[in-house]
Amino acid sequence: MNSAPNAFYAPTLLPAIEELLARGVETHAIEAVFRRSLFELRTPFLRVPLVLSRRFWTLALAQTHDPLIGLAAGKRFVSTATNGLTYLFDVAASLESACAWFVAYFPFFNGHFQARIERSEQHVSLRLHDCGSLKASAPITDYILTSLLSMLRRKVAASGVDCDPILAVELAHPAPADTGTHPRTWRAPVSWGHAEHGIRLDPALFSQPLTPGNQALEQMLVEVLQQTRGNTRPTLLELASDHLAGHLADNDRWPHFCASQHLLERTAARRLKALGWSFSELLDEYRRYRAEDLLHGSDLELAQIADQLGYSDVQSFHRACLRWFDCAPGTYRAR
């Protein structure tokens, strides 16, 4: 079961939005990130481009000045977020089957990651491979893992089993300055600098039957998810973002996109504007966050990065970084 890795299910951010509101962040600031009202963001199965995920968490960091905001927001997830995947996770007959459904459907809900189950003689791991068009920043990963750890523990506790299924958590990000908060929050050993993120699980508890089987309910939830995923059609905003993700270096990206959608340029521009965006604004957003990824996570020369982003020269890229980051790209990378 594959899913396009360039969008996410907007209502999964509602607990994080509640955390920001509780900290005094203004509603209009959050709505400005998405250019949608909070009412619209609560629309069932509303999917939006990954670039808006990055915009949201950039706002969260800027407004709270808390590099661990993802941990705090993730604590709200299980108690406030309900969707077809969380229901299916809860009714699955074991951690093994719950994680299998998670692997199958998680990319629909969060296009940053593909998930898989990895087994060895000593342990079982639920791995998260960061494969989106834009990388998941540390707050995004903290939020997702905090939510997932809570779901795993809740499932075991609801079955009356007095054991912790979590053995350890592995993160691909570098270790933060404060390495004590993650283990305390997650109540498990945490290590950093791995090839990808992962949760190591108790192998005996993983396959142990937990809740009484309810195959009829489980199958009904699967059918609902399959139907929803099959009936979900990308908006022009998603399609434009998909096109940008693969054609940042294409000087004719806009006419090529319009041609691919069989739309006149003025018609496409009008429809995008109705969704709150222009193509040039989306281009600038994708360039910004792609630049962050490349400056942080690659050894490419600045000229190579400028070329990948579709700039004609390094000077243009330099000016863009001054506008985005208030510093030159070399300075940003050094930080």
Q: What is the pLDDT of residues 204-227, one digit of tens each?
A: 999 998 877 778 888 888 888 888
What is the rounded distance in angstroms from the CA atom of residue 312 to the CA atom of residue 287? 13
Which CA distances in Å does 239 have to 50, 246, 253? 12, 11, 12
Structural tokens at position 213: 């089987």
What is the rounded distance in angstroms from the CA atom of residue 122 to the CA atom of residue 124? 7
| pLDDT recorded at residue 2 | 39
| Long-range CB pairs of 176-181, under 8 A, 24+ apart, other chains included | 176/67, 176/68, 176/138, 178/68, 181/68, 181/71
Q: How far is CA 20 from the centre of its chain?
A: 17
Which CA distances in Å does 94 have to 36, 207, 214, 248? 38, 6, 11, 44
Work out the angle at residue 129's Cα, subtended by the Cα atoms of residues 305 and 329, and round it to the nearest 5 degrees.
Answer: 20
Whole-prediction pTM? 0.92
Instruction: Provide the β-strand partners of residue 168.
Output: 200
The CATH 3.90.1520 portion of the chain extends over 7-231
- Is residue 18 within 8 Å of 76, Cβ to Cβ? yes
What is the rounded distance in angstroms from the CA atom of residue 107 to the CA atom of residue 122? 28
| pLDDT recorded at residue 80 | 60
| pLDDT recorded at residue 239 | 95
| pLDDT recorded at residue 219 | 87
What is the rounded distance in angstroms from the CA atom of residue 282 to the CA atom of residue 288? 10
In CATH terms, is domain 7-231 a member of 3.90.1520? yes
The CATH 1.10.10.60 portion of the chain extends over 236-334
| pLDDT recorded at residue 88 | 86
Sites in the chain below the pLDDT cut of 70: 1-5, 78-83
CATH number for 236-334 (one of 1.10.3720.10, 1.10.10.60, 3.40.50.150, 3.40.50.300): it is 1.10.10.60
| pLDDT recorded at residue 3 | 43
